[in-house]
Amino acid sequence: MLTGSNGFLGNYLINNLPANIIKTLNRSASDYEVDLSINIPCFTEKFDTVIHNAGKAHIIPKSKEEIAAFYNVNVFGTHNLLKGLSNSLPKRFVFISSVSVYGLNDGYNINENCPLLAEDPYGKSKIDAEFVVKKWCDENNVTCTILRLPLIVGANPPGNLGAMMHGIKKGYYFNIAGGNAKKSMVLASDIAKFILKAAEVGGTYNLTDGIHPTFNELSNSISRNLDKSFVPNMPLFLANVLAKIGDILDNAFPINSNKLKKITSTLTFDDTKARIAFGWKPTSVLESFNLHEDA
């Protein structure tokens, strides 16, 4: 069974998993239509493998309600799913987590032994959900797999990558200070190809493409896909001035000092553990990324 099949990564998973054995759970348009944040699902069948991909995506919350939603969806929703499965236990449970659990804005080759230091609502909700899943799997003798994912790349992505693509397409995206900061990324299609192998083994894994492209490399790859000219560069001193303005205007401005630090800081993760455990062999985002591909 797959939760969150209607989302960005969910579309890749549903289209790459065996269609004859997959059941879906979403708030609508699925085999089981359940809002996990408020309801416990009632399942009429037993599943060998459950992939829990549903959750509230990473955004910067603007209200107490948005902060609470991270817990309600990502933690309490996971509780409710596990309660629904307790009378008919699966053999394997896969939880889609995030490298946000590490709570870092910069660093090189961070592995799974790194402390979970997230303080933001999203990162903390993923830490809590991981704990809930591990405890339940241990108590019920279910093979537990947790996948900590960085930026997920594919056609029509949401979030910051989608905003970058839109900005390049419209001609108003700039790299900052040469765009030389490296970031870990992974193709959604690779996650879909390897997820059942990971489910069989169990464990907690970072997944990346192993290349960790720079913003400059990624933006120019997107530009070529869109048949656009080169991506312009903004000097760091000018970006700093604009970030100070953004600090004053808050959410009314596209950049602030916090965002600028993230954009100009390298943050990469080590996926050696996955390569050894279940033969994770990803493809390069820069070589394989196609804006026009189907999920």
Q: How many CB atoms lie within 10 A of CB 252?
A: 8
Contact 191, 287 (CB under 8 A): no
Quick: pLDDT tens for 244-266.
Answer: 998 888 766 778 888 888 889 99
> Strand pairing of 151-153 and 107-110?
unpaired
The predicted pLDDT at position 250 comes to 72
Q: 223: exposed, middle or buried (C-beta count within 10 Å: 0-12, 13-18, 19+)?
A: middle
pLDDT band at 61 (very low <50, low <70, confident <90, very high): low
Structure-block tokens of residue 220: 């120019």
- Cα angle: 277, vertex 124, 219; to 5 degrees: 70
Secondary structure (3-state) at 140? helix
Spatial distance between the Cα atoms of 239 and 216, rounded to a whole number of angstroms: 16
Percent of the chain with pLDDT over 70: 96
**Side chain identity at residue 26, one-letter code:** N
Structure-block tokens of residue 111: 């592995």
Whether pLDDT at 295 is above 70: no
Spatial distance between the Cα atoms of 60 and 62, rounded to a whole number of angstroms: 6
DSSP code for 282: P
The predicted pLDDT at position 58 comes to 73
Quick: pLDDT tens for 112-137.
Answer: 999 999 999 999 999 999 999 999 99
Q: How many CB atoms lie within 10 A of CB 115?
A: 9
Phi first, then psi: what are they for 216, rounded to 5°?
A: -65, -45
Phi first, then psi: what are they for 76, rounded to 5°?
A: -65, -35
**CA Rg, the chain, in Å?**
19
Q: How distant, in Å, are the alpha carbons of 25, 81, 93, 133 from that of 43?
A: 10, 10, 15, 18
DSSP code for 242: H
The domains located in the chain, with CATH, are: 2-153+186-209+270-284 (3.40.50.720)
Quick: pLDDT tens for 163-214.
Answer: 888 889 888 888 998 999 999 999 999 999 999 999 999 999 999 999 999 9
The predicted pLDDT at position 20 comes to 65
Spatial distance between the Cα atoms of 138 and 142, rounded to a whole number of angstroms: 7
Residue environment code for 48-84, b if the CB has 16+ CB neighbours within 10 A, otherwise e: ebbbbbbbbebeeeeeeeebebbbbbbbbbbbbbbeb
287: Cβ contacts below 8 Å, ≥ 6 apart? none
